[in-house]
Amino acid sequence: MRLDLSPTSWGRVIAVTVAGTAFFIAVAFFVDSFNFPYLSPEALWHAELTDLLLPLVLGGSFLFFLMWKIRQLAIAQRDLSVIAATDSLTAVLNRGAFSMLVEAYLEQTRKQEQPRSGALLIIDADHFKSINDRLGHDSGDQALKLIAQAIKGQLRGSDIVGRIGGEEFGVFLPGVDPSQSWLVAEGIRRRIREMDFSPGGRACPLSVSIGGTSFSGPTTYEAIFSAADRRLYAAKSNGRDQVSFDPAEASLVSQPSVATVH
C-alpha cells in the first residue's frame, strides 16, 4: 500500500513529524555524546532520557502543529482553486477552466507522434430567454441545473464539461471517433428532451441544439470551437432540438423524428 504524501494528506503530516522528531533526537544525542564519557551512570541515564524526551515533546509537537497548519492551507488552496474553476450555478467548469483544460490536452497531443482523436460539442438550450421571461429567472436557473446534470449523466470520467455561456455548455470527448461522439451528443439531446421540467406545476419541455466536430490529428481549441459553433448555428437554423456534426468529419445529423445527412 502506497503512502499518500500529498500536501493535503495526513500521511505527509505524520511522515514529516516522525522523521523530523527522529532527526531532532539524533542531533540531541550527537551533541550530548561528547559529555557521556565523563558522566556517572545515573547522570548518563538522566542525560539520555533528556535527549530523548525533550526533542520528542517539544520538537514533535512543534512539527505536528506546523504540518497540520500547512495541510489546512493546502486544503484551502485546493478548495479555492476548485471554486475559481467551477460555475457556481451548475457545478461544472467555467469557461476559462474548460478552455484551458481542452487546450492543454490538445497541446499534449500535438507533441505526440501518434495522432489522437476526439470531439468537441457545443450545447445550447433552445428558447431559453422565453423560459426566463415566462417563468422567471429562478426557473431558468433550475433548467440550467437540470441540463447540466443530464449532460454529466451521459459522460465518462475522462470527459470534460463546462458552462461556456449563459445557456451554452461545452463538452470535450477525448479519444472518441465521430460515430461515438455523435451517439454521446444524441444521448444528451434525448435525455434532456425526456426530462420532466414543471416549475410551479406548469409543464415546460426542455430541448437543446448541439453542434459538434471531431478531430484525428493536431489541432487547436480555437479551430475545433469555431467548427463546432458553425454546426450549432446549422442545428438552430434547421429547427433546433437536433444534433449537427461537421460534415468534414462526422456527416451526421439527428432530429427529433428523422435523421438526415448534410
Torsion 141-142-145-151 (CA) sign: negative
Please pick, among 42, 167, 168, 222, the residue that the annotation labels catalytic.
167
Domain boundaries, the chain: 10-84, 95-245
CB 240 within 8 A of CB 209: yes
How sure is the predictor about 179, in pLDDT bands with cuts at 50, 70 and 90? confident
Which residues pair with residue 173 across a beta bridge?
119
What are 226-255's pLDDT values in tens digits? 999 999 999 999 999 999 987 554 334 444
pLDDT of residue 244: 93
**What residues contact 169, with CB distance under 8 A and at least 6 apart?**
90, 92, 122, 123, 124, 147, 148, 151, 161, 162, 163
**Cα dihedral angle (42, 44, 50, 53), rounded to 10 degrees?**
-90
Q: Which residue has the higher pLDDT, 80 or 261?
A: 80
Is it the case that residue 88 has pLDDT exceeding 50?
yes
pLDDT of residue 130: 87
Clarify whether 42 is annotated catalytic: no
Q: Nearest 5 degrees, angle CA 32-CA 34-CA 39?
A: 80
What are 38-62's pLDDT values in tens digits? 888 888 899 899 989 999 999 999 9
How sure is the predictor about 262, in pLDDT bands with cuts at 50, 70 and 90? very low
CATH topology of domain 95-245: Alpha-Beta Plaits (3.30.70)
d(CA 143, CA 146): 5
pLDDT of residue 218: 84
pLDDT of residue 246: 76
